[in-house]
Structures are given as structure tokens and as C-alpha cells.
Structure 1
């Protein structure tokens, strides 16, 4: 995997999310996202699925789309300052600053800003399904620096659709070190939608 492979991966992810935002029907957009994500996981040279496992990759599992878990939420910025410094496998120590909190019916989720070059919004989630139906370390909802952006704006709120929760790279290969959900991104509800636990035979 070369830096240009990673560049192409990020471009394709950004294009995929742009296509999702263009869909008038969120459920149809979700089907398009699943198909596109699976294609990239199986075939792209920068896929987090180990190269030795891609030819036998069985495909991921995704919960059925639930429109009740799609929200447009404003960011409550009246929160105490907080900084996380997270060691990652490829990017060194990555700083995140809390810029607010999303108040959702399923629980509150902190919103983080990538405090390094370029910046970006990052919203992970760990719910009661973690370690059972979903990856034990939690999943990502938004990671705009890498193209995972469902839309919205400061005046109308961010689009936060839990059906698009997806696994971090370390779910596929423990060689990756990924930022995982801190306590402010942990909720007590079970969210059995989005990308579910990775099949055990992916780790080859």
C-alpha cells in the first residue's frame, strides 16, 4: 500500500459520501453506501482488510435501515474544553479537541475537532452492542477529514444517521491503531444498525 493508494481511497470515500448526500431517499443512499463500501473493502489496495484475506473476504454484515435512527442535530457548544491525544498506527499522536455535544434521543455524543493540519469533525460511538453484535472498540459516525460526512450545517444541524456507523480499520486488522470512542461517546442503548462485527476469518 502506497501513499497514492491511500489518497485514492480517501477520494473514493469522499465521492461515495457525496453520492449518498445526493440521494433523496436515505434508505436508498444507505444501500448505495453499503455496496460502495463493500466494493472498496474487497478490492481497493488501501483496504484495511489484510491483503492476504481479500480474495476470501466474505463481505460485511449490516443491520436493516431504520429511519428512526436518522437525526439532524445541532451542536451544543456550551461544554467544558477537553483535549484527547491519541497514538495511531500511521499518523503518530493525533490531537482532538471537544467542540460540543450532540443531544440525541439515544444519548449524548461529544463532537471532536481534529487539532492538526486541515482539521475535521470526528464523532465516534460505542453502544451496548459493542463486543456482541458490533466491534468491541466502537464505530465511527462522522470523520470528515477522511470524507465520512453526511451533510448538514451549523444553522440546521449535522445529519447524524446511526445506520451509517462503520468499523474503524483496527476492526479488520489489529496492526492498525485507531482513535476509539471515549466516555463522552458511549451510550447505554444498543444500536444494532450500521456495519456489524467483522467476520472472524477476516483476520488472516
Structure 2
């Protein structure tokens, strides 16, 4: 795994902090993603039909029922992220739960999306009550977590909905506490088995106390 140079630049701009570190994914963790994205697709004459834990192959043209290829899916995602403030809302209980954890931990948001959408996402997160530092990455999340933690031994927790992101962090930061959280629970049926040690929770009311305990708060 290699670092994303732009992500590394963003990390270098953060103030040094010695508190326990909580790194949070954005889509499906802090913000609703699947439900708003399906509504966005509907407005384009497209539909999402879940058959696996991925987007490509599951988005079809409503008239022809032909699945979109990877390039077309990427274009739809790009359009959605550009207009995210019109579609995405906060996940249930997320703002209050994270605010409570922020009393004792450093909170950093890490979203896998093109860097060009960072400013749009920053403004939208601020409007929804998530004023924490935001990092974007176009590569694996593990190296970003390792760089964020630095040479300290402070406790680290990471929350994400995507299994390979959690595995990436485990490979880079072996003692990180890992949590799987997913607002659109219907996709859980298509999740591959998660490695041992990853805590699976349905919502923030369940996840927040366990995150606090993991971080020693």
C-alpha cells in the first residue's frame, strides 16, 4: 500500500494532537449514501438493483435494463458528489454521538473520493454539524491512518462501512480498534465475511459507547 501524496499534504496541515484518535469514514457512516444515491439515480432514469456488494453491475438503465459499465458508474458518482448537498443527509444520531466523543478524542474524517470534491464536501459537512478536519483520499486508507497517528502510541479507532478499508487499516495499524457501521443495512446481506476483531454495529447509539471504551474515554 502506498500513500496518496495529496492526502499526506492534507495531514501535514493538521495541528499536532496527542489525544486518542478517532477516524471516521463519511458515506454510510456520517452521511446517508445509498438511499440518496438511489434517488439521484432515479432522477437520471437509472435504478440500483442490489445483487452484490458493489455499484458496478447493479446500476441499470430503467428502459433497457442494461447495466452501466465502470466508466458510466464513475460518471454518476461524480455527478452525485458534485450535487451532494442537494441529496445527502446526516446518518441517524451521528452528529450528537460524534460530538460527545469529540470531548475527549481527536476526530478526523477520512473520505474516499476524488480530491476535487473536497471543498463541496467540507461545506456540506459543516452545514450538517460535522466541523471536524476532513481528509480525502484516492488510495488505500491504511497508510493515511498510519501517518495520522504518527510515532505516538495513542489509541486509535476507525469506523467504515467497506470491508477492504477496514482490512487496509488493520494491515497498516495493527492495534487499531475497527468498527463496521452501515446506514443502509440492506447491503449487509451482500457483505463478505469480516475478519475477526472487527466490531459490527447497526447504528450510532450502539457504536458510540463501544468506541468510547476502545479509546479509553
Using the size of structure 2 for normalisation, the TM-score is: 0.26
Which structure has the larger Rg?
A: 2
Select the structure that is richer in helix. Answer: 2
